[in-house]
């Protein structure tokens, strides 16, 4: 009897050790960390069966380039292929985190995640990391370095994605939060792609999920008017007080009728819920999204707008992939015409 109890105890200890190791792995990957709301970190983390299978087949932490003095993990990407399919569409995902935090590993978070959505739609999904601002792991990094990294990742994808069943001529960009500012700039200011021997013709579509930084100087001035008084402090921190720098970082300033651009889908939210449960609404993201879409259409480009002022920024990220969620439906139509 004593021996039996000892065996049971040993099994329990080993089981707890294994579970602890799994949790530690996902924490280190950024999965159990939430860059937007610390309260969310206390909630139960769910990984769907589809995401688990995709992770088993994924090629993780591929180094797309190296830079002396920069933490190599900032310059890596993950590829999630689709089984038994060739020339599949490709989506390159750029995470958010206020230009200073976040990680590519978060794409499989939730019961229906970004990863689930693209696996379901037979799309080769690539999630990338990039240099984070104000990090001692990327000393001296500025906003333009992030766009430079994205262009380098796109170059790697263009040159290698056929090995994973992807079509190098059907690459789209998808950015959430700060990532939306980045993909919008890469999708309009061709200089970043040209530095890698590519052009805007190498990007088919761009999805920009919820940011107030398409016209940065205007966002700084209008923040108070649209109930988001934090805009000036936030945007000058990341893009400086220099007007020319702000303009250069604004995708709206790189639109010309003489050029052809990828097709854009621009999505915004508006609700802000305080820790005490009080809801307020800001319309700066809506204002910026409308201005950007109007500017694209004005130069002969293609763009569509979707938004919900009653949706929070966090809900947009956490609920994407759920089949009856508005933004999921819009992306489905935009990318796949269904």
Nearest Cα to Cα of residue 288 among 303, 313, 268: 268
Given this model, what pLDDT does residue 31 score? 31
Burial, 36: exposed, middle or buried (Cβ in 10 Å; 0-12, 13-18, 19+)? middle
In sequence order, what E strands does 137-289 have? 166-176, 205-209, 263-273, 279-281
Per the model's pLDDT, the better-predicted residue between 53 and 258 turns out to be 258
Cα–Cα dist 183/33, whole Å: 23
Per the model's pLDDT, the better-predicted residue between 21 and 163 turns out to be 163
Beta strand 303-312 with 263-273: parallel, antiparallel or unpaired?
parallel
Residue 21 burial (CB count, 10 A)? 10
When pLDDT is averaged across residues 56-62 and rounded to a whole number, the result is 96
- How would you label 70-80 residue by residue, b for 16+ Cβ within 10 Å and e otherwise? bbeebbbbbbb
Among 48-57, 170-179, 234-243, 321-330, the least confident range = 48-57
Given this model, what pLDDT does residue 41 score? 40
Angle between helices 178-186 and 143-160 (to 10 degrees): 70
Residue 206 burial (CB count, 10 A)? 26
Given this model, what pLDDT does residue 30 score? 34
Cβ contact 64:76 at 8 Å: yes
Measured CA angle at 268 (ends 263, 269), to 5 deg: 165
Q: Which of 48, 177, 251, 269 is catalytic?
A: 177
Catalytic annotation present for 258 = no
Residue with tokens 């490709």: 90
Given this model, what pLDDT does residue 45 score? 65
When pLDDT is averaged across residues 32-60 and rounded to a whole number, the result is 66
Domain residue extents for the chain: 1-30, 37-336
Among 39-53, 97-111, 237-251, 257-271, the least confident range = 39-53
Which pLDDT tens digit goes with each residue over 260-275? 999 999 999 999 998 8
> Which tokens belong to 197?
């021997």
Give the 3-state secondary structure of residue 127: strand
Given this model, what pLDDT does residue 50 score? 85
Beta strand 279-281 with 263-273: parallel, antiparallel or unpaired?
antiparallel
pTM summary value: 0.86
Residue 137 has pLDDT above 90, yes or no: yes
Q: Mean of the per-residue pLDDT values for the chain?
A: 89
Nearest Cα to Cα of residue 205 among 51, 333, 58: 333
For the chain, percent of residues with pLDDT exceeding 90: 80
What CATH homologous superfamily does 37-336 map to? Alpha/Beta hydrolase fold, catalytic domain (3.40.50.1820)
Among 4-8, 191-195, 232-236, the least confident range = 4-8
Among 112-121, 194-203, 294-303, the least confident range = 112-121
When pLDDT is averaged across residues 13-19 and rounded to a whole number, the result is 40
Q: Where are the alpha helices (DSSP H) in 96-204?
A: 114-120, 143-160, 178-186, 191-194
For the chain, percent of residues with pLDDT exceeding 70: 86
Cβ contact 233:244 at 8 Å: no
Given this model, what pLDDT does residue 112 score? 81
Nearest Cα to Cα of residue 202 among 145, 235, 243, 161: 161
pLDDT band at 44, cuts 50/70/90?
low
Nearest Cα to Cα of residue 251 among 207, 295, 221: 295
Beta strand 279-281 with 205-209: parallel, antiparallel or unpaired?
unpaired
Backbone dihedral angles phi then psi of residue 3, each to the nearest 5 degrees: -60, -40
């Amino acid at each position: 009897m004593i021996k039996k109890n000892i065996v049971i105890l040993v099994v329990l200890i080993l089981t707890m050790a294994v579970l602890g190791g799994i949790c530690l792995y996902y924490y280190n990957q950024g999965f159990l960390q939430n860059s937007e709301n610390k309260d969310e970190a206390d909630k139960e983390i769910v990984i769907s069966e589809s995401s688990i299978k995709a992770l088993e087949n994924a090629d993780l932490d591929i180094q797309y380039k190296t830079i002396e003095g920069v933490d190599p993990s900032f310059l890596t990407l993950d590829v999630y292929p689709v089984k038994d399919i060739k020339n599949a569409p490709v989506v390159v995902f750029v995470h958010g985190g206020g230009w200073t935090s976040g990680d590519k590993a978060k794409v499989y978070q939730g019961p229906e995640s970004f990863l689930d959505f693209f696996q379901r739609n037979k799309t080769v999904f690539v999630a990338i990391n990039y240099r984070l601002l104000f990090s001692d792991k990327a000393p001296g990094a500025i906003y333009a370095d992030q766009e430079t990294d994205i262009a380098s990742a796109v170059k790697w994808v263009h040159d290698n994605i056929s090995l994973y069943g992807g079509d190098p001529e059907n690459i789209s960009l998808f950015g959430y939060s700060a990532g939306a500012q980045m993909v919008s700039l890469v999708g309009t200011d061709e200089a970043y792609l040209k530095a890698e021997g590519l052009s805007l013709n190498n990007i088919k579509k761009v999805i920009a999920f919820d940011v107030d930084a398409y016209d940065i100087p205007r966002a700084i001035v209008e923040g108070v008017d649209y109930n988001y008084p934090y805009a000036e402090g936030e945007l000058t921190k990341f893009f400086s007080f220099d007007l020319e720098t702000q303009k250069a970082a604004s995708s709206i300033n790189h639109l010309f009728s003489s050029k052809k651009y990828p097709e854009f889908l621009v999505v915004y939210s508006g609700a802000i819920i305080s820790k005490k449960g009080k809801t307020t609404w800001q319309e700066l993201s809506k204002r910026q999204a409308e201005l950007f879409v109007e500017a694209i259409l004005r130069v002969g480009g293609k763009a569509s707008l979707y938004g919900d002022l009653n949706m929070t920024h966090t809900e947009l990220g956490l609920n994407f992939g759920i089949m009856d969620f508005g933004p999921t439906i819009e992306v489905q139509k935009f990318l796949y015409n269904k």
